[in-house]
């Protein structure tokens, strides 16, 4: 009984900020009052506020770019990661463990350490403030996780499957596409969901490597809108924009949580 009460209290404390966000994002834009932030206004204006933010902050281009980054980069990342895991484990690449450390080792450095070199390099290469540049950096960031999960997954697959396919005359490339890749779809999907969420919610790289509204990720645009709250943008408008823009990742996770859990367990060490 005590344990249940503690859990209920902790759950209410955790849901408190979410409640405040929902209540105040749903207010009419001219009805925000900090003194009554906990009290619902009785009027539901969430989508009106979001439409106002969409027009005022030019979020349409940012949403389109973010959708592009969040789909293409994870797809490329998991594919390259799967290729790396297949090469290291199945093809038994010489010094494969050290190659894996080289791929995964970059993740030990905080992202903040990469910002200045990336900014300078992107400026020199003409990739600054371009969709291609954002696709490249997001793909590169996603590869290590894909390689880690798929390397562990392929380590638990019997090598006799590869040998049997080779005896049937299949090439190593065909074995990857026709046998190992379909076999690991659950693990690939789990990594894709995780990486989709990361890219959709990214702020740091968007602030550093983009400038124009059509290229910058949507969270960067939302951050700019929330900065403008102090310059006249109503608080409910900024909160509604942040809330609605965050919904795709929540919906995706809730819709695929079983697949996500199963995929990560398949990618764990056997």
Q: What is the pTM of this model?
A: 0.84
**Which carries the bigger pLDDT value, residue 249 or residue 129?**
129
**pLDDT, tens digit (0-9, with 9 covering 90-100), for 98-124:** 888 888 877 788 888 888 999 999 999
Please report the domains of the chain, with CATH numbers, ordered by start residue. Answer: 52-266 (1.10.3720.10)
Is the Cβ–Cβ distance between 149 and 187 less than 8 Å? yes
Cα(100)–Cα(112) distance, integer angstroms: 23
pLDDT tens-digit map of 253-268: 777 777 766 666 655 4
Asked whether residue 237 carries a pLDDT value surpassing 90, the answer given is no
CA distances from 107 to 69, 112, 140, 165, 247 (A): 20, 12, 11, 35, 28
Q: Which pLDDT band, with edges at 50, 70 and 90, does 270 fall under? A: very low
Express each pLDDT in 17-41 by its tens digit.
888 888 888 888 777 777 777 888 7
Q: Is the pLDDT of residue 49 over 90?
A: no
């Amino acid at each position: 009984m005590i344990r249940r009460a503690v859990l209920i209290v902790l759950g209410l404390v955790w849901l408190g900020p979410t409640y405040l966000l929902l209540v105040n994002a749903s207010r009419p834009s001219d009805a925000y009052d900090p003194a009554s932030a906990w009290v619902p206004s009785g009027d539901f204006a969430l989508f009106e506020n979001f439409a106002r933010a969409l027009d005022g902050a030019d979020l349409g281009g940012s949403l389109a770019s973010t959708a592009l980054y969040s789909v293409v980069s994870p797809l490329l990342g998991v594919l390259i990661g799967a290729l790396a895991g297949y090469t290291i484990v199945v093809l038994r690449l010489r010094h494969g463990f050290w190659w894996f450390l080289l791929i995964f080792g970059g993740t030990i450095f905080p992202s903040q350490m990469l910002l200045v070199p990336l900014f300078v390099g992107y400026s020199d290469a003409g990739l600054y403030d371009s969709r291609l540049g954002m696709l490249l950096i997001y793909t590169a960031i996603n590869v290590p996780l894909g390689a880690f999960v798929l390397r562990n997954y392929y380590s638990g697959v019997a090598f006799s499957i590869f040998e049997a396919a080779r005896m049937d005359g299949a090439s190593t490339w065909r074995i990857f596409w026709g046998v190992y890749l379909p076999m690991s779809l659950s693990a690939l999907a789990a990594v894709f969901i995780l990486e989709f969420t990361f890219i959709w919610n990214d702020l740091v790289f968007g602030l550093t490597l983009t400038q124009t509204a059509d290229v910058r990720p949507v969270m960067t645009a939302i951050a700019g809108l929330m900065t403008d709250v102090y310059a006249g943008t109503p608080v409910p408008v900024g909160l509604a924009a942040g809330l609605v823009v965050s919904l795709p990742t929540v919906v995706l996770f809730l819709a695929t949580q079983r697949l996500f859990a199963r995929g990560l367990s398949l990618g764990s060490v056997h």
